Amino acid sequence: MDYLNNNFDDTDQQVDVGAVIRDGREILFQAFNWESHKYDWWRDLETKVPDIANSGFTSAWLPPPTHSFSPEGYLPQNLYSLNSAYGSEQLLKILLQKMQQYKVRTMADIVINHRVGTTQGHGGKYNRYDGIPLPWDEHAVTSCTGGLGNRSTGDNFHGVPNIDHTQDFVRKDIIKWLQWLRSVGFKDFRFDFARGYSATYVKEYIEGAKPLFSVGEYWDSCNYNSYGLDYNQDSHRQRIVDWIDGTGQLSSAFDFTTKGILQEAVKGQFWRLRDQQGKPPGVMGWWPSRAVTFIDNHDTGSTQVPYLSLVSFNCGLHIVFSVKWLAIILAYDACN
């Protein structure tokens, strides 16, 4: 694979990266679950593309496509290898071409908060990346996770080296890698563990690689008291809104506020479904065109929900219950 010869299409430089988000009418399908790596996933998913397209989905979120220390893909190591537990590079490219043929955009799961090293360096930790593309040294790792870089600009993901995004060479390499993913055929990005680094870097990465649609996983706990979930979750949704603002409003975000509230509302606490101003109580009540609403994903549902349910529709509450490949959509349009 000629990863050094970046074939990023110059026409992509003309893309208005905010256009799709401003339109606010995207339906995202999470096309995997926590167990998918155990199966011939790229090959199996390729046969489902017509069904996904006919169901009206605009984008399909794939698991992390690169080589990973863990089979699920969330402990990346060799970022330029597309051979993963989900299948080979060849099978992935066949899938991406099929998605493009059926006009379903493919979303890459971007895991750039942390990266597993190949070699022991400073402090005896695996914080060097010798022998693989992007051969960073300890200066690419934050000082708070065992490297020689600067302190993290966000929260730590414990147990593995966290990437220091303040380093110019790191950001330059990440942008080239993201551009390479775009040239491979990915159109959209999902930023994993977005709390781990400043949203200003997400802005820089979006501007550099120009995905058509982006969503961030800015996930922290809702507000609780001794009796359970607080009614007022304004500070929780404000943190998500602040993150979106930090990206220059170029990215949407998963509406974890709405997800947390719905978990309690379905127990009969329907009074939670309006905030004090009579609006939907999550991010969708404040900024519907940037709020990606959902029920569960591979983290929150995990193996307890074998065929996971997810929704993403920016302009309202569109809940998708997925039972294997059968999707039932309940739609509540809050756009008007």
Residues marked as catalytic: 192, 217
Paired with 213 in beta bridges are: 188
Q: How far is CA 175 from CA 7, 43, 112, 134, 168, in A?
A: 13, 29, 11, 12, 11
Cα–Cα distance, 148 to 137 (Å, whole number) = 9
Instruction: Determine the Cα–Cα distance for residues 301 and 256; give it in Å rounded to an integer.
Output: 13
CA-to-CA distance for 107 and 99, rounded, in angstroms? 11
| DSSP-assigned letters across all residues of 290-333 | GEE--S--TTTTGGGSSS-----BSSSEEEEEEETTEEEEEEE-
Q: What is residue 213's three-state secondary structure?
A: strand
Contact 158, 152 (CB under 8 A): no
Phi, psi values for residue 7, rounded to 5° = -95, 35
Cα–Cα distance for residue pair 322/328, rounded to 1 Å:
7
Note the helical H segments in the chain.
19-23, 41-54, 89-101, 168-184, 199-209, 234-246, 256-265
Q: How far apart are CA 106 and CA 162, in angstroms?
A: 26
